[in-house]
Amino acid sequence: MIEKPYHVPERLGLLSGAAADPFLTEDLLRGVQGHGGVDLAKVVEPLPEDDARWEAEPLRDLVDDAMFQFKDNRTDADGWLAPRLHAALRLTRREAADKRIWNHLALAVAPDYVAWRHPATAPEGRNPRINPARFKGAPDRQCFSRLWWAAEMFRNGADYTPVVKACSNQDLIHNALRLSLVDHRPTAQALVRILERGIATTGREINGLITAINTAGATLIYDAFAEDEPRDPGALRQWIAEAESAPPVPRHDLPTGPDEEPVPEASVEKLTEHFANLFETAPVRGRVPQD
């Protein structure tokens, strides 16, 4: 198992994909040995020093706590870490879209967490390896960006409770993050309701439902069908501005997100019913058609 880097940076930085490549060594991907971190620090672009958001220690403490608390069930760490990562690392969507910050978090601050959460696997007869995309990959695959975006898309205003439920189904967050549909807040909340009510719960069922939803309409159509309140950019700006004075994110209770209006309940219920009806004829592999 990869150990914590000998040199953990004090602050987050920007690590380009090209600069990250030499550190994705075979030993790292096999989960045998990481790197000291000193050489990696030489190729990192610094972030502004007057911004408290870039302190690495709070994030390092979170992943340490996650590894300890969920050592017997690593998948469950997603639902715990996603809202806390989002609340600790208060980003705009523009900032979160920059892959360089996630490359740095994964390779410089917490490569041992990446290896712990996504251990090396391989088909029979081949050497096990960690998927490099867990360190440096698309937002729905990279170890930390997938959690941050899941929290961003599935939170209901300041309430992270739906995020925990969404993260309990790996197929939901993987497929939803690849679609523009969940950028429509009532759609995201309706998908969580479908899970909560046991309408679709398995990976195959969720995949079939999302395929049916994506086929039946686009974000624009669902936006007209189930209206949402526009996000208040001032609430997000205020939440980010308070990062310097914010206490550490709680471990036993959920943190509080930006003080935005919650999703209109009527829109969530309307879409939940609509999605439940779609699921009845959704293409679920292995499901026996009903007469």
Q: How far apart are CA 180 and CA 161, in angstroms?
A: 22
145-154 and 77-88 helices, crossing angle to 10°: 80
Kindly state the greatest CA–CA separation across the chain.
65
At 192-245, the pLDDT tens digits run: 999 999 999 988 899 899 888 888 766 667 788 889 988 889 999 999 999 999
Stated pTM of the model: 0.93
Mean pLDDT of 23-37: 85
Task: Kindly list the distances between the CA atom of residue 275 and the CA atoms of 70, 194, 209, in Å, as whole numbers in the listed order.
Answer: 33, 8, 8
Q: How far apart are CA 65 and CA 176, in angstroms?
A: 27
Per cent of the chain over pLDDT 70 is 96
Helix (H, G, I), strand (E, B) or coil at 159: strand
Q: What is the pLDDT of residue 146?
A: 96
Q: What is the pLDDT of residue 193?
A: 97
Q: How far apart are CA 237 and CA 90, in angstroms?
A: 10
Sign for the pseudo-dihedral over CA of 149, 154, 160, 161: negative
